[in-house]
Structure 1
Amino acid sequence: MSEPTLLRRVDQALELVRGLCMAIASTALAVLILSFGWLVFGRYVLNATPTWVEQLALLLICYIAFLGAAVGVREDTHIGVTLFRDMVPINARKSLIILVDIGLCIFGATMLIAGITLMRFGWDTRLPMLNIPETFRTLAITSCGGLVMLFSGLRALRRCLSFADWSPEIEFQDV
């Protein structure tokens, strides 16, 4: 069964989003390493500890973790318990895998909604030492939720559309 053109285009767009997430998370990791290098240099060489590094590190860790988690869902490398999935017959296994994708989609939507609430609440609160709104920290949660919802929702849709042709054994043979 051939995939609809719209679904392919959305998938290509989400692949670009995945790449952007990886680029942001990688850049955040590099900045984290450089800032801790500056912290060590400031503390032991200049004898003047930069106090903003801890707050910047907490902010960067949020983006690294949440964007990395969203990419893991996109690449289908998130942590999963496969014991029950592997014990059931093939058609039940297909249905179970689709249900997991739908569950992830619902979880992502919940994160998105809760993240938006946190962003609204934190706009007037400032992060210490950085003097930026707390919203910048909760933006990572909100982004992750939206991306998890999109990534898993599209995968569930794709699997539903090709239910008869799709084989979990082929997809998960390298896992």
Structure 2
Amino acid sequence: MARYYLSSMDILYRIAMWISGIALLLMVAVIPVGIFYRYALNQALSWPEPISILCMVTFTFIGAAVSYRAGSHIAVAMVTDRLPPLWQKVASTLADLLMLALSLFILVYSITLCRDLWEQPVADFPLLTAGASYLPLPIGSAITLLFILERLLMGPQHHRQVVAFGTSET
């Protein structure tokens, strides 16, 4: 069962990494288009700003889940690195539990936010509703929750050896 969960998390990790990378690439491509049309052609487009904001939110929340699983998130280890190994483990578990609580909080309230704003259109981009533009928040926090559970139950991903594509050995 653990092997299947790890395999699923490996696949989810790669998908989330691609989604956040594509969102960043799209944001970097869309912003200059808006700037060019506004200042070079003196014709402001309405869609680059809401699209780039959606890409930024996607990159931030889904990319944060990817960073968390990879162990490359921001961590101040000045104090914990000086602790004995047992207390380092306790501090790491406490940090994971606090991340779990924070992710649950974001998940619950972002679902409420999306639901409350689902019908509200974005004025500059009518194909997109305000609720849909906030979908990366609950999706990213749900992915983060899955990665936190993986870390709590099976240890950090960056300490496992990859056996084959999509599978990991603990």
- The answer, yes or no, to whether TM exceeds 0.5 is yes
Paired residues, number: 157
Q: Which residue of 2 aligns with 1:126?
A: 121
Of Structure 1 and Structure 2, which has the larger fraction of its residues in strand? 2
Deviation at 1:57, TM superposition (A): 1.2
1:131-146 aligned within 5 A: 131=126, 132-146=128-142
TM-score by structure 2 length? Answer: 0.83
Which segments of 5 or more consecutive residues in structure 1 lack a partner in the other structure?
1-5, 160-165
Structure 2 match to 1:162: none
Structure of greater relative contact order (alpha carbons < 8 Å, 6+ residues apart): 2
Between the aligned partners of 1:82 and 1:30, the Cα distance in structure 2 is 31
Deviation of the 1:44 alpha carbon: 4.4
Secondary structure of residue in 1 paired with 2:45: coil
> 1:156: which partner in 2?
152
Q: In structure 1, what is the equivalent of residue 24 of structure 2? A: 29
User: Aligned to 1:105, which of 95, 100, 107?
Assistant: 100
CA contact (8 A) 1:21 1:67 kept: yes
Counterpart-to-counterpart distance in 1, 2:85 and 2:23: 42
- The equivalent position to 1:53 in structure 2, one of 48, 55, 65, is 48
List runs of 5+ in structure 2 lacking aligned partners: 160-170
- Aligned partner of residue 120 in structure 2, secondary structure: coil
Residue of structure 1 equivalent to 2:168: none
How far residue 51 of structure 1 moved from its aligned partner, in angstroms, is 2.0
In structure 2, distance between residues paired with 1:67 and 1:30: 14
Whether the 8 Å CA contact 2:34–2:44 is kept in 1: the answer is yes
Matched, 1:39 2:29: no
- In the alignment, what sits opposite 2:162? none
CA deviations on 1:10-56 (whole Å, 9 max, x unpaired) are 11111111111121112122222222232233234543221221121
Say whether 1:72 aligns with 2:70: no
Question: Could you say which residue in structure 1 is the equivalent of 2:89?
Answer: 94
Question: 1:112, 1:146 within 8 Å by CA — same for their partners in 2?
Answer: yes
Task: Tell me the alpha carbon deviations over residues 50-90 of structure 1, each in whole angstroms, 9 at most, x when there is no partner.
Answer: 12211211111100111111111111111112123122211
- SS at 1:77 equivalent: coil
Structure 1 window deviating more from structure 2 (146-155 vs 79-88): it is: 79-88
TM-score, normalized by length of structure 1?
A: 0.81
